[in-house]
Amino acid sequence: MTHNITLIPGDGVGPEISLATRRVLDATGVGINWEIAYAGAGAREKLGELLPQATLKSIRKNKVAIKGPVTTPVGSGFRSVNVALRKELDLYACLRPCKIYPGAPTRFSDVDIIVVRENTEDLYSGIEFEAGKAETAKLRKLVAEATGNKVSEDSAVSLKVISESASRRIVKFAFEYARANNRKKVTAVHKANIMKFSDGLFLATAREVAKEYNDIEFEDRIVDNLCMQLVRRPQQFDLLVLPNLYGDLISDLCAGLVGGLGLAPGANLGDEIAVFEATHGSAPKYKGQNKVNPMSMMLSGVMMLKYIGEKKAADKLEKAIAAVIAKGENVTYDMKATGSVGTSQVAEAVIEKL
Ligand code: NAD
């Protein structure tokens, strides 16, 4: 069977790691008909649009995509393509497994944590009020009238939106994933002691959903405490479910626990569509240098193979990547200080192990 899959090379180091990933996926023998589509700064240069309709159309048609990271300049009017893509396709769950492969550069052992991040709301709602603008003055007035609180005139405001429906959906996703993948414990992460209504709603909803899953242990952690516990004793955690922003931060932290961003795969999942991508960004300073680690995108490819029902090929590819890590010979600069190799050599070493 041939699978039609959309491949978005992305910006910065994206095209290099995408090529390396495509090579190893093709080498598994799974029939894939690649449909190349563009998004990000490169798409704007080529096609005049950050997220071209043709790209959305291709993903909607194929239902599965794998993408390289795209660049979002900080603080400019440039809206994040990733946020737009997730919203547009309702990819509400971000799944990021963080697992130690023997030989990976880490201080820990036995870490195997699944991070489930809500992908559509929270401080990523995109509802913002710029300092000094008329609409911000209106908001300040409304806040003063409704709550008696004063927002100072020089403030900018970003709305943290947490809904019961999105919280329920992501927590259910987390429990269903736990059940299907033999995970024993779900930890809901929040700051409900301070944000009593937004995070409070997330926590209350999580507690309610947990009652439907008596076979899986449930607990909650305040996010600052979680950070401390993760770096002290990460082995105590199994699956974390978090609102969007904490999910973003904690998945980078967990990537650090297992050997860095070069080893952190991910998937953005909706009910019908899935877009696989590494946790890391486009690392623009390394663009075109054949330098960065393609394994996070390759491991995202492993997740993709499982998703499309190619479990045997997925296991074979994961084993080949693990063998390259364990040998430690053909790995990139982030995995060893001297004698490292480049992106394309990693692909060749993985193919050799397949
Ligand atoms: P980044 O993840 O691109 O890079 C941070 C640092 O991590 C790099 O300088 C590099 O030292 C290291 N790193 C990242 N990926 C690596 C890899 N594969 N191998 C080895 N080392 C690696 O983060 P940033 O510099 O904050 O962001 C750059 C751009 O990427 C920004 O425009 C940001 O918005 C965007 N971004 C995109 C995505 C995405 O497309 N999913 C995710 C995060 C950030």
**Quick one: tokens of 157?**
């405001």
CA of 219 relative to ligand 1 center, distance in Å = 32
In angstroms, the CA 60 to CA 39 distance is: 15
Q: Which amino acid is at 318?
A: E
Using CA positions, which residue lies closest to atom 39 of ligand 1? Answer: 69
CA of 282 relative to ligand 1 center, distance in Å = 5
Which residue from 86, 248, 282, 300 has its CB within 8 A of the most atoms of ligand 1, so it is best to mutate? Answer: 282
The reported pLDDT for the residue numbered 217 is 98
The reported pLDDT for the residue numbered 46 is 86
The reported pLDDT for the residue numbered 5 is 98
Q: Which atom of ligand 1 is nearest to the CA of 334?
A: 20
Using CA positions, which residue lies closest to atom 37 of ligand 1? Answer: 281
Using CA positions, which residue lies closest to atom 30 of ligand 1? Answer: 281
Which residue from 44, 78, 280 has its CB within 8 A of the most atoms of ligand 1, so it is best to mutate? Answer: 280
In angstroms, the CA 202 to CA 192 distance is: 8
Q: Which atom of ligand 1 is nearest to the CA of 294?
A: 18
CA of 29 relative to ligand 1 center, distance in Å = 30
The catalytic site residues sit at: 124, 191, 224, 248
Concatenating the DSSP letter of every residue in 17-31 gives HHHHHHHHHHHTT-E
CA of 85 relative to ligand 1 center, distance in Å = 18
Pocket of ligand 1 (CB under 6 A): 69-72, 82, 261-262, 277, 280-285, 292-293, 296, 332, 334
What burial letters (b/e) apply to 271-306, b meaning 16+ CB within 10 Å?
A: eebbbbbbbbbbbeebbeeebbbbbbbbbbbbbbbe
Q: Which atom of ligand 1 is nearest to the CA of 71?
A: 32
State the residue for tokens 């710029």: 130
Closest CA to 331 of 150, 105, 171, 94: 105
Contact between residue 18 and residue 68 where contact means Cβ atoms under 8 Å apart: yes
List the pLDDT tens digit at each of the 354 positions of the chain: 899 999 999 999 999 999 999 999 999 999 999 999 999 988 888 888 889 999 999 999 999 999 999 987 665 555 688 888 998 999 999 999 999 999 999 999 999 999 999 999 999 988 999 999 999 999 999 999 999 999 999 999 999 999 999 999 999 999 999 999 999 999 999 999 999 999 999 999 999 999 999 999 999 999 999 999 999 999 999 999 999 999 999 999 999 999 999 999 999 999 999 999 998 999 999 999 999 999 999 999 999 999 999 999 999 999 999 999 999 999 999 999 999 999 999 999 999 999
In angstroms, the CA 108 to CA 215 distance is: 29
Taking the model in full, what pTM does it have? 0.94
The reported pLDDT for the residue numbered 72 is 77
Which residue from 82, 261, 276, 332 has its CB within 8 A of the most atoms of ligand 1, so it is best to mutate? Answer: 261
The reported pLDDT for the residue numbered 78 is 56
